[in-house]
Structure formats: C-alpha cells, structure tokens
Amino acid sequence: MAGMTSRMRESRAFRKFTRDRMALFSLFVIGLYSVVFIGTIVFNVSVEHVNTLKPEQRVWLQKFNEDTGTMYAAPSGKYWLGTDRLGRDIFKRVLVSIHVAFKIGLVTAFFACLIGLVMGGLAGFFGGWVDLVITWIYSVFASIPYILLVLLISAMFRKSEGLLGVYVAFGATFWIGPCRVVRGEILKLKELEYVQAARAIGLDRLTILFKHVLPNTLHLVFVYFSLVFIGAIKSEVILTFLGLGVKDMPSWGLMIKSASHEIIAGFWWQMIGASLALFVLVYAFNIFTDALQDALDPKHTQ
C-alpha cells in the first residue's frame, strides 16, 4: 500500500513538473551545462587547450610580458568573449570552468546528502542518546557562521593538492540541512501504521529504517541535492576569489578574481563571461529547485 501511494505521488509530481514551462526551460539550460561537463571529461580538455598563444610566444611572455597580438583581444568573431592577459580564449575557459564547477557541486551534494540522510535517519528513528548526540553535533556546526567555518577549514588545507580542501570544507558544512530535514520527516514517518506493523512482525529496526522508512524521504533529499549542488558552486567561487579555493585549473572564481583587476583598465569581457555563466546556472537551478519542491510537496500533489 505504501509503495502504491508512493508511485501515485511520483506520477502526480511528474505531471505537475512537466506542465511548468519555466521548469522545463531551466532543465534544458541545466542539460546544456551538463553536456559541456560531460564533453570536458570525454575529450579530456585541459588548461593548455584553451590558450591561443604558441609555445614560443608563452616563453617570451613569461620573460618580457610583451604584446603578442592576442593578449586582451576584444570580443570578435574569432574570440567570442575575447582573450585574457595570457592570450587565453575566455569563451573556452568559461566552458572548461564548468568541469570544475560541476565536479565540486556533484561531489559535495552526493556526500552531503548521503551523510545527512544516514545521520538524520538514525537520529529521528532511534531517538534517545543517538538523537541527542547527532543533534548536538549539527547544532555545534550550525552555531558557527557558515562562511567563517568554510574559510577556517579551507585555510587548514591550503597547501593540499587539487580540490581536497574545498571538498573537506564543504563536506563539513553542507550535510547539516539534509540531516535536519530528514530527521524531522523520520519523526513523523516512524509513527505511521506500516512502520508499526513492521515492528509487530519482528523486523529488525535497521531493516525497517533503511528499507521502509528512508526511501520515503528521498523526495526531500532530491530537493536538497539540487540546493547543495548550486550552493557548493557559489561557495567555490567565493573561496577561490578569496584565494582559498581552486588554484591551478580554470574556474569562474579565478576568472572573476583576475578580471577584478582588469576591469578598471577597460577589459570587461572576462568579468562578463564568468559572471554571466555563473548567473545563468544559478538562476536555472533556482527555478528548477522551486519547481521540483512544489511538485514533490504532498500539500500540492494531493
């Protein structure tokens, strides 16, 4: 009965979502970004592939910083968003930066939602000292200003290679929201008749939790996955701008940081390119998340 009710709810949610034109448009935009992300993986696009300077020109540039003819080139038919101070095609760097953004967003959202789902499920279902300990842990993390906590953890891993510092910083903060929501939902679900019936026939409590209760909270996890995904991307841009995030790979945060010094001299195209790419993705995800939340909300799907 519970499974049938769940399938009916999912069917109604799907119909409601597909009737929302703005939601479908946002999904289309997200799909375009996803295609670029997959393309960077399939074709193994790296930093060197987005540099318009020849190798010998890069050597001279490092020595004398002389004008090679493609540095700070304005937007044109050849370079749609112009080039930066190293002669790199900004449009291509904007596209390659999607790889870093999506990688951080996906990894952070996956682990944050997984940790939040398990921790919230254990706290809500078992109660007692388990609930007290888990509630205390996320209350401590939540009491610290978010940006301060992220900056502190990132600074601790400042000398680490790759994106380890970013992953640890975001992993320690983004699980709190999913944990709270799942815990609250479990507190309601564990009192329902089908859970009481499962207990009556002698099913193990962990079996009841992971097989029969937690699956009914996945609609909340899906919404939070979207929220955490885009939240992690925005936070990465902020961290990178402050010098604590991405270091040696194309990133919207690095582009905006570099452009902040160039825009005064009139070289605005790098700032516009990176900011616009970030804005479109954030706006699309906000619309998508709102539509998904409305579609999955039981109050709206009954």
Query: Which pLDDT value is given to residue 134?
Result: 94
pLDDT-derived band of residue 63, with 50, 70 and 90 as boundaries? very low
Residue 36 has pLDDT above 70, yes or no: yes
Query: Which pLDDT value is given to residue 65?
Result: 40
Pick the more confident residue, 8 or 194.
194
pLDDT-derived band of residue 66, with 50, 70 and 90 as boundaries? very low
Q: How far apart are CA 263 and CA 274, in angstroms?
A: 13
Q: Average pLDDT, stretch 5-33?
A: 80
Q: How far apart are CA 166 and CA 184, in angstroms?
A: 29
Measured CA to CA in angstroms, residue 12 lies from 6, 135, 211 at distances of 10, 34, 23
CB neighbour class for 209 (10 Å; exposed up to 12, middle 13-18, buried from 19):
buried
Pick the more confident residue, 265 or 300.
265
The domain segmentation of the chain, as residue ranges, is 2-51+89-301
Q: Average pLDDT, stretch 248-264?
A: 85
Q: Average pLDDT, stretch 25-29?
A: 94
Query: Which pLDDT value is given to residue 233?
Result: 93
Three-class SS string for 92-120? HHHHHHHHHHHHHHHHHHHHHHHHHHHHH
Query: Which pLDDT value is given to residue 10?
Result: 66
Give the model confidence (pLDDT) of 77-136 as tens digits: 788 888 887 778 888 889 989 998 999 999 999 999 999 999 999 999 998 999 999 999
Q: How far apart are CA 55 and CA 281, in angstroms?
A: 34
- Mean pLDDT is lowest, of 34-38, 170-174, 200-204, 243-247, for 243-247
Query: Which pLDDT value is given to residue 55?
Result: 57
Which span out of 45-59, 124-138, 196-210, 241-255 was modeled with the highest average pLDDT?
124-138
pLDDT-derived band of residue 6, with 50, 70 and 90 as boundaries? low
Measured CA to CA in angstroms, residue 65 lies from 61, 116, 262 at distances of 4, 50, 16
Residue 302 has pLDDT above 90, yes or no: no
2-51+89-301 in CATH: which number? 1.10.3720.10
pTM for the full predicted model: 0.83
Q: Average pLDDT, stretch 281-289?
A: 94
Rg (CA), the chain: 23
Query: Which pLDDT value is given to residue 57?
Result: 52
Residue 11 has pLDDT above 90, yes or no: no
Tell me the β-bridge partners of 88: 51
Residue 49 has pLDDT above 70, yes or no: no
Q: Which of 205, 194, 228 is nearest to 5 (CA)?
A: 194
